[in-house]
Structure 1
């Protein structure tokens, strides 16, 4: 399962989390908070205040020796930068990595295991924050939960909300995806599922964990392809799970069979609270980390939460649509639609009726998709104003709207009935017309060639004063 093959590393890609933080700092995009910011609410409050602009490093939060970093993924451009590609290349690069993964390489020693705790007290040993006001307590939110198929040994990497329920006990929400499939296999055999929660990794590993991959496709191999070099992994100290050797922190344990305990509420990506319910339970067996680790956290429902989940879904949906509609140019899951529910599709329109087919194809691409807007190639789908303009000037509700009732949606959408949702499609493309001016956008000639530094004076106040003096 672990092998190498030659592939050039991307020299522009930071080596690990620390290298990425150093790059953000050099660009002036990493803020550092004062010491002793409280892990309970205050850290998340500070992070939210600057989430559109900066990552934040918190030294000694609540007096803890381990610093906490947050806001690593609040902009799509940062995701691209961390992978050493342009923002325009981000989705094609992700798709190429998913289609041609690079297997991991196993090593025997690792920075992630420089310090080993077998007597575990999570809240004393790790600076785990509480984020949203009504969260049930501290949560690990940026941890890669790595599990192994109990039969084949193939690993899965995903992110789950992990509630600290005791010194060595974690409540975990398992949605109906691959981790849950592996757990049910182990539970039916009367065994716990060996897992590790990995905290503090290169952004590529976090991004790969969100890939919509098939069962028994190891997302860590996708991360290797994103990086252009194999991810080095090491065997855990107390189980058979392999974890990234360069990780900051690793929590080793087992999801216990036939055990359920209360978990939640927790602030989720739709900006509502996921409810309290009986969930699966992790028994922690060990904590390992670097000598001076950094703890990464994601505030529930923050931009970081949205962007991290959005980019891999965009890539998968783009690939899905282009199979049937080659003239699909790009897609975007909007932040206002929680980077999950609202999709915008840019097309080079060739025939009437096609946008409606694309809308229906998008609904089939992922059950989370609730609204699809199809626009022409002249629309900037990263701009909410541009999308609204297209709807305002190219859409008529009685002609261009598609509604599907009673479809499967997201159970985290509080407006659904146990996940049963209506779907809405809007064809905001211009009708094909022989009149060249019918839907041609206005344009000021030369606008794109203007060099403002050559046209505008550097001291406008002084210039204004001179003009006033001349005319008075």
Structure 2
């Protein structure tokens, strides 16, 4: 069995003093509120009315814990992700797996036997927030993504499939034929697997091999009990079923989005579950919104930005997807600039997924210091020359400013994007940006006069 599974990560957190155990009885309706208050990753050991189940949450709600998952310093997470993503390792198949120790099929399928939490005040129902969703297309092969599920009935959920994605594309192809799309949902996988699943990879890239590259070893996969799909053997729980061929017709939401906003009701497909399998002593993973989602989004966005810069022949120094924009909508980068590359870098970063705001600086600017960024924008930017606006670019529904409610069922929104080239302008001597340095600072020490 792999040594980089979900439970191995829990052990890593324990060893780092980052895992808390709560043994007092907890109701499912209390889980999210308590998870929002903890400082450490937490396992609730005693869930009322769900004997044998535990619930883990806040596993990657800080950059520090994400760095533990990646096995690197906090400021190298994006670079480590980028490096490992270039060395994919194909998954391997196994005959048996812990995720299938308990099997519920047919009429025995019952989501109410799982401790599904009520997460936010205005949510449309209990949610499964941390998923690893696997689908397959006859032409394009397997795909993995992360899509939340809202409880509807004991064997049905809603699924958030409004944004552009490969699985949405697969579903549309099946829908055009009047056919359901078989999918399998794994819950309780290593955070590196979820990073691979959320990476905006080209459709011909195997996210399972990417996850293997991030782990440094092949994922072990086992065949589903009711579908011709394979799932991670070391997962905690698997939901097997199909997206019904009804299109975007069922209400789903509201939900507390990773945008830190309580979202609106959406029209989405329905996921009908044929089989549930899980470990004998399962741990349900409640991905705590918004911070776990935001910190998982940041290195994926940053790594995509690094790749975009390199493709544009721009040498990056550092990059940051601020958590204030949810690790998703903004990118700030410093570069080793050659003439014209400030604008090239802005254009490259604006091409990343739904990133809508970009700042590019020279390497002398600390992009983690907001005062440094303000200084660069104040003295290196002319608005009519260094601000770039792109209209009609791809957007995401949960950004209220795109007014997605005007689009109707299944409509895809667009947005305007803004980039600021805050590098030293061409033609301006660098000496004009020489910083103040006090006379004798290197020779005169305050402690000598105290």
Give me the TM-score of the superposition, normalised by structure 2: 0.88
Q: Decide whether aligned partners of structure 1 residues 406 and 253 sit closer, same or farther in structure 2, where only a CA change above 3 A counts.
A: closer
User: Residue 225 of structure 2: SS of its match in structure 1?
Assistant: coil
- Partners of 1:49 and 1:323 lie apart in 2 by 42
Match of 1:375 in 2: 361
Task: Specify which of 239, 250, 256 is matched with residue 261 of structure 1.
Answer: 250
Match of 1:54 in 2: 40
Match of 1:461 in 2: none
What is the deviation of 1:121?
1.4
What is the deviation of 1:396?
4.7
Match of 2:71 in 1: 84
Match of 1:5 in 2: none
- Partners of 1:225 and 1:141 lie apart in 2 by 25
**1:120 is the counterpart of 2:106:** no
What is the deviation of 1:169?
0.5
**1:17 is the counterpart of 2:6:** yes
Match of 1:213 in 2: 201
| 1:109-157 alpha-carbon deviations (Å, 9 max, x no partner) | 001111111201112x2111121211101111101111121x2482111
Match of 2:310 in 1: 322
Match of 1:312 in 2: 300
Task: Specify which of 78, 87, 93 is matched with residue 106 of structure 1.
Answer: 93
CA contact (8 A) 1:116 1:288 kept: yes
Q: Decide whether aligned partners of structure 1 residues 239 and 441 sit closer, same or farther in structure 2, where only a CA change above 3 A counts.
A: farther
What is the deviation of 1:27?
2.0
CA contact (8 A) 1:35 1:63 kept: no
- Partners of 1:271 and 1:88 lie apart in 2 by 24
Task: Specify which of 396, 402, 420 is matched with residue 426 of structure 1.
Answer: 420
| 1:236-283 alpha-carbon deviations (Å, 9 max, x no partner) | 111111001111111111111126322111111212233213311111
Within-5 A mapping of 1:53-452:
53-65=39-51, 66-118=53-105, 119-123=108-112, 125-149=113-137, 151-152=138-139, 154-174=141-161, 175-258=163-246, 260-300=249-289, 302-351=290-339, 353-366=340-353, 368-418=354-404, 419-431=413-425, 434=429, 436=431, 438-440=433-435
- Partners of 2:48 and 2:143 lie apart in 1 by 34
Which stretch shifts more, 87-96 or 255-264?
87-96
- Partners of 2:441 and 2:25 lie apart in 1 by 55
Gaps of 5+ in 1: 1-8, 456-466, 468-472
Q: Decide whether aligned partners of structure 1 residues 57 and 380 sit closer, same or farther in structure 2, where only a CA change above 3 A counts.
A: farther
User: Residue 268 of structure 1: SS of its match in structure 2?
Assistant: coil
- Partners of 1:408 and 1:113 lie apart in 2 by 39
- Partners of 2:91 and 2:295 lie apart in 1 by 26
- Partners of 2:313 and 2:134 lie apart in 1 by 35
- Partners of 1:332 and 1:227 lie apart in 2 by 23
Q: Decide whether aligned partners of structure 1 residues 354 and 215 sit closer, same or farther in structure 2, where only a CA change above 3 A counts.
A: closer
Which stretch shifts more, 243-252 or 16-25?
16-25
- Partners of 1:187 and 1:399 lie apart in 2 by 47
CA contact (8 A) 1:310 1:340 kept: yes
| 1:159-188 alpha-carbon deviations (Å, 9 max, x no partner) | 111101000101111132111122223233
Q: Decide whether aligned partners of structure 1 residues 397 and 33 sit closer, same or farther in structure 2, where only a CA change above 3 A counts.
A: farther
What number of residue pairs does the alignment pair up? 431
What is the deviation of 1:334?
0.8
- Partners of 2:364 and 2:121 lie apart in 1 by 42
User: Residue 332 of structure 2: SS of its match in structure 1?
Assistant: strand
CA contact (8 A) 2:314 2:341 kept: no
Q: Decide whether aligned partners of structure 1 residues 442 and 37 sit closer, same or farther in structure 2, where only a CA change above 3 A counts.
A: farther
CA contact (8 A) 1:327 1:348 kept: yes
Q: Decide whether aligned partners of structure 1 residues 396 and 255 sit closer, same or farther in structure 2, where only a CA change above 3 A counts.
A: same
**Superposed CA RMSD:** 2.7
What is the deviation of 1:47?
2.0
Within-5 A mapping of 1:30-49:
30-40=19-29, 42-49=30-37
What is the deviation of 1:446?
7.6
User: Residue 233 of structure 1: SS of its match in structure 2?
Assistant: strand
| 1:436-466 alpha-carbon deviations (Å, 9 max, x no partner) | 473336599689xx9xxxx9xxxxxxxxxxx
Give me the TM-score of the superposition, normalised by structure 1: 0.84
Q: Decide whether aligned partners of structure 1 residues 153 and 107 sit closer, same or farther in structure 2, where only a CA change above 3 A counts.
A: farther
User: Residue 275 of structure 1: SS of its match in structure 2?
Assistant: coil
